[in-house]
Amino acid sequence: MQLGRYGFTVIRYARGTTLGIPSGLTENEGSELATIAAGKDVLEIGSWYGYSTIRMARTASAVVAVDWHRGDEHAGYGGSLMIFWRNLVKHGAADRTLPFIGRTVDALPRLADHQFDLVFIDGLHTYDAVRSDVELSLPKLKPGGTLAFHDYGRPDFGVTQAVDELVAKTSASIRVVDSLAVLKLTTSTH
């Protein structure tokens, strides 16, 4: 895999994608995100170099993309903001993306009282971090909206436990595409 300017930290986590942007997402997962985002108002947690952001923004009404752009213990540490934005411009996604740069715990409470059709959670993958991202996101999700998580089913991360607990608590339906879990919430969760 040619990583060029992306540097060595991404090798552990990322694969090459059809857009030439490193990401942990498979092509199936990217296509699924594009499908469920179509025409929707989307909140993304964890954008990194912009692959998932672009796949969704190309079909969505708009994507608010929250990331502190400093990396993490799974994706590798390092700044991603400049390359993220360059990728969005290059792939025609900049006009429908609103980047929000900051930690989720700081950024989400500062989002106005707006609710989204779809929230895609792909930030830090520890159990505590995913739980926190879920708690911060639920008030931002429209009743009956969709929540999607990356890296579900991977034993090395805490995503599965956090998602399974949420499904049990909310009776959401769950569908899995590769390691993308897509939850459809039936009622208001807040």
Ligand X SMILES: C[S@@+](CC[C@H](N)C(=O)[O-])C[C@H]1O[C@@H](n2cnc3c(N)ncnc32)[C@H](O)[C@@H]1O
- Dist CA 104 CA 83 (whole Å): 20
Among 27, 56, 32, 52, which Cα is nearest to 42's? 56
Instruction: Give the Cβ contact number of residue 4 at 10 Å.
Output: 8
Nearest to 24 by CA among 62, 72, 57: 72
Stretch that binds ligand X, among 34-42, 68-76, 159-167, 170-178 (CB under 6 A): 68-76
Distance (Å, whole) CA 144 – CA 142? 6
Kindly tell me which of 32 and 67 has the beta carbon lying closer to ligand X.
67
Site string for ligand X, 72-91 (x = CB under 6 A): x--x----x-----------
Does 104 participate in binding ligand X (rule CB under 6 A)? yes
CB of 170 to ligand X, least distance (A): 23
> Among 63, 67, 66, 65, which residue's Cα sits nearest to residue 41?
63
How near is the Cβ of 82 to ligand X at its closest, in Å? 13
Q: Contact, 77 vs 41, CB < 8 A?
A: no
Measured distance CA(153)–CA(101) in Å, rounded:
28
| Residue 134 in contact with ligand X, rule: CB under 6 A | no
Amino acid (one-letter) located at 112: A
Query: Does 100 sit near ligand X (CB under 6 A)?
Result: no
Q: Which stretch binds ligand X (CB under 6 A): 117-125, 140-148, 163-171, 179-187?
A: 117-125
Q: Which of residues 139-168 bind ligand X (CB under 6 A)?
A: none
- Binding ligand X (rule: CB under 6 A), the pick from 32, 37, 40, 51 is 51
Residues contributing to the site for ligand X (CB under 6 A)? 23-25, 46-48, 51-52, 67-72, 75, 80, 103-104, 122-124
